[in-house]
Amino acid sequence: MKKQLFSLAFVTILGAATTQSAVAQAKLTPGTVLVGSEAMYPNKTIVENAVNSKDHTTLVAAVKAAGLVETLQGKGPFTVFAPTNAAFNALPAGTVETLVKPESKATLTKILTYHVVAGNLTADKLMAAIKAGKGTASLKTVSGGMLKAMMNGPKNIVLQDEKGNVSTISTYDVLQSNGVIHVIDNILMP
């Protein structure tokens, strides 16, 4: 009997949490996406939204250290491949701490702008470019480097940097007033 009551209580709590999540999602304005458990509003800039994502605190700190806040609040449009905190944490120990030092600003800026492509490249546009390129789309980054976009399965886009490292897009089409963000799981290196 106790086990049944516990199970019933657990199901009730789980159901309430699921309902709250569904209600929260339903309250979002059209085009709004949750990233890092926070709403990313399509009428805000890349920076205005990114500062609210709990999954992108390291990226935001790096953007500030590189002096790119004003740029990424500009008119754009920009396509930003935004690495998560976990992606930064996967770098060798001390890398992030070194990159955010003032003397590393040029290197940090080059790495961050390697994650940005001019234009508004939604997932549909990326997939169309990959199809037109017979399996690969070359993307010129703001830093002047190149990324390769490829399909990994029917609906999964991956990016390959110039060193051969691969990053998977985990969240697509986070629309912004000045572009689009795609969340990625690894750091891309020029």
Boundaries of domain holding 7: 1-29
Domain count, the chain: 2
Is 103 found in the same domain as 81? yes
- pLDDT per 10-residue tile (average), the chain, 190 residues: 40 37 49 78 89 92 95 93 96 95 96 97 97 97 97 93 96 94 96
- The answer to whether residue 190 sits within a structural domain is no
Is 15 found in the same domain as 1? yes
Q: How far apart are CA 118 and CA 76, in angstroms?
A: 7
Is 69 found in the same domain as 83? yes
- Please classify residue 130 by burial: count the beta carbons closer than 10 Å to its beta carbon, then call 0-12 exposed, 13-18 middle and 19+ buried: middle
Domain harbouring 177, CATH code: 2.30.180.10
Is 4 found in the same domain as 59? no
Residues in Cβ contact with 65 at an 8 Å cutoff, skipping those fewer than 6 apart: 99, 100, 102, 105, 108
Question: What pLDDT, on a 0 to 100 scale, did the predictor assign at position 77?
Answer: 97
Question: What pLDDT, on a 0 to 100 scale, did the predictor assign at position 105?
Answer: 96
Beta partners for residue 93, in sequence order: none
Task: Kindly report the length of the chain.
Answer: 190
